Amino acid sequence: MSQHRSSGNQRMVRDVLFVDGVRTPFGRAGEKGIYAGMRADDLVVKCIRELMRRNPALPAERIDEVAVAATTQTGDQGLTIGRTAALLAGLPRTVPGFAIDRMCAGAMTAVTTTASGIGFGAYDVVIAGGVEHMGNHPMGAGADPNPRFVSERLVDPAALNMGNTAENLHDRFPHITKDRTDAYAVSSQNKLAAAYGNGQIQPDLVPVATMKPGQGWTVNTVDEPPRPGTTAEDLAALRTPFRAHGRVTAGNAAGLNDGATAALLASSDAAAELGLPVKMRLVSYAYAGVEPEVMGIGPVPSTEKALANAGLDIGDIGLFEINEAFAVQVLSFLDHFGIADDDPRVNRYGGAIAVGHPLASSGVRLMNQLARQFQEDHSVRYGITAMCVGLGMGATVIWENPHHAEYSAVTTPTAVSIPTAGAAA
User: What is the Cα–Cα distance from 229 to 28, expressed in whole angstroms?
Assistant: 18
Decide if 388 is catalytic: yes
Name beta bridge partners: 261: 23, 130
Closest CA to 153 of 298, 288, 293, 289: 293
Question: Taken in order 363, 365, 370, 375, is the CA torsion positive or negative?
Answer: positive
User: What is the Cα–Cα distance from 45 to 78, expressed in whole angstroms?
Assistant: 14
Active-site residue (options: 4, 47, 104, 378): 104
User: What is the Cα–Cα distance from 280 to 286, expressed in whole angstroms?
Assistant: 17
CA 146 to chain centre: 28
Active-site residue (options: 336, 378, 388, 403): 388
Strands 125-133 and 63-69: parallel
Closest CA to 366 of 412, 413, 299: 299
User: What is the Cα–Cα distance from 199 to 422, expressed in whole angstroms?
Assistant: 56
Torsion angle, alpha carbons of 325, 326, 332, 337, to 10: 40
Active-site residue (options: 133, 137, 170, 357): 357
Query: Interhelix angle for 362-376 vs 106-120, to 10°?
Result: 70
User: What is the Cα–Cα distance from 249 to 182, expressed in whole angstroms?
Assistant: 9
Catalytically active residues are 104, 357, 388
